[in-house]
Amino acid sequence: MRKTIAIVGAGLGGLTLARVLQAHGVAATIYEGEASAKARTQGGLLDIQVETGQVALRAAGLYDEFLTLVRPGEDAKRVVDRHGTILFDLPADPGSARPEVDRGELRRLLIDSLAPGTIRWGHRLASIRHGVGGGYDLTFAQGSAVRADIVIGADGAWSKVRPLLTPAEPAYSGTCFVEIALASGGRGGRESVAETGGGTLMAVAPGRGIIAHRYADGRVRGYAALNKSEEWMRSIDFGDPSAGLRRLADQFDGWSPLLTAFVTQSDTQPWLRPVYALPVGLTWDRVPGVTLVGDAAHLMSPFAGEGANLAMYDGADLAGELIGQPDAEVALAAYEERLFVRGGDAARRSERNLEVFFGPEAPRSVVTLFDRS
C-alpha cells in the first residue's frame, strides 16, 4: 500500500495498528500529543484476554515478549460487603487464560517494537479537515501540519477525529471514580492491605464501592466509586487532599474501618475519574479515508474488561485489512462492519455490569456475576 497513513494517538490501539503494519512493510506515522512516553503514568493492571488482546499481540509478533510481562498470582478476586464480610473469594490461577500485566509495561513493549521516528511526540491534533483533491490536512497545536491519505483516530474518549464520522459524544454514566492508594507500612495500612487478599478487592453496595488491587510490592491502588452527579463530585475540593478525602469518606459511613481506611489514609493525589461512555451500538456511515479504533470508536465503562483488549484487537484487525486488501475503502468498510458488532456487544455487557456492581442488588449481584463466569 502506497498511501500515507496517519494514526492519531499513541495508546494501545494505535501502537498495535502501527506495529502490525510495519511488520508487513507498510509505513505509518503516529501523532501523539504527549511530550514523551514517560509524560504520565499509564494506569494499573490489565487482564489480557485470549479472544482479543492475545490475538492482537500474536498478530504483532510480540506474544512471547508479552509473556515475560505477565504478573502471576495477581488475578485473585475477592468480593465483600460493606462490613468486610467475604462473599466470594477466588484464589489466583497460575495458568489463567486472562493473565495480568501492567499497562505501562505493555505500552512500552509496543513502543519499543516500532521503528525509530514512527511516533511524533508533542503533536497534539488541533484540527483536521478534508484536503483539496483528497486526503486530510492535519494541523497540530505547536503549528506544524501534515497531509495523509488515510487517518485513523486512536485518540481516545474525546477524539478529534471522531467528528468526521459522527456527532456522537461521550455521556457521563452516573458513576465517578476517585483514585486511591495505600501502602502497607503502618498498622492500619497492613490490616487493610491484608483485607484485599492476593489480588483485587471489590467492596460494593448500591451506589458506591471501593475497588482496590494489591500489587506484588504490597501497595494497594484503586478507586472509590460513587453514583453521584458530576457536579456533586466536582464540588469536592481535592486541592486539600485530606479534606476532600474526609468528605468522600462520609459517603461510606457505617462501612468497616478496614475498608474506609483505603479512603481516609490514601496517600496518592485523589484524582476524579468520571466514567463516560459513547452510545451503545454506535455506528456511522462510511467516510472515505478515515476510521477509528479503541475508545474513540466504542468508549465504555471498564466493567466488561474489554477496553484495552478491544483497542489492540481493533488495531490488529484494521492492519490486517489494510495489508491484505489493495483497495483501502474496501478494507475500511470490512473492518468497520466487524468493529460495530464487537464494539456493540462489549458496550452492552459493560452497561449491564455497571448496574451489577452499583445497582440495588449489589454486592450479591457481583457474586452471581463471578459465579457464572
Looking at per-residue confidence, does 47 or 53 come out higher? Answer: 53
Q: In total, how many domains does the chain have?
A: 2
The answer on 335 and 237 residing in a single domain is: no
Angle at the Cα of 239 from the Cα atoms of 155 and 102, rounded to 5 degrees = 40
Q: What is the DSSP letter of 95?
A: T
With pLDDT > 90 as the criterion, what percentage of the chain qualifies?
78
pLDDT, one tens digit per residue, over 171-206 is: 999 999 999 998 765 555 677 878 888 789 999 999
Residue 112 lies in a domain: yes
Give the sheet arrangement for strand 136-140, strand by strand: 125-130, 136-140, 145-148
**Are residues 143 and 9 located together in one domain of the fold?**
yes
HSE-up of residue 326 (Cα within 13 Å, Cβ side)? 0
CB atoms near residue 85 (< 10 Å): 11
Using one digit for the tens of pLDDT, what is the confidence trace for 126-180?
A: 999 998 888 999 999 999 999 999 999 999 999 999 999 999 999 999 999 999 9
CATH classification at residue 122? 3.50.50.60
Residues 77-89 have a mean pLDDT of 95
pLDDT for 188: 55
159 and 191 both lie in a single domain? no
154 and 26 both lie in a single domain: yes
Q: How confident is the model at residue 43 (pLDDT cuts 50, 70, 90)?
A: low
- The answer to whether position 91 is within a domain reads no
Q: Which domain holds residue 115?
A: 5-72+97-170+278-355
Which residue in 12, 48, 14 sits closest to 305, CA to CA? 48
C-alpha cell at 240: 486539600
Q: What is the DSSP letter of 316?
A: H
157 and 238 part of one domain: no
Same structural domain, 207 and 262: yes
**Residue 291 near residue 328 (C-beta atoms within 8 A):** no
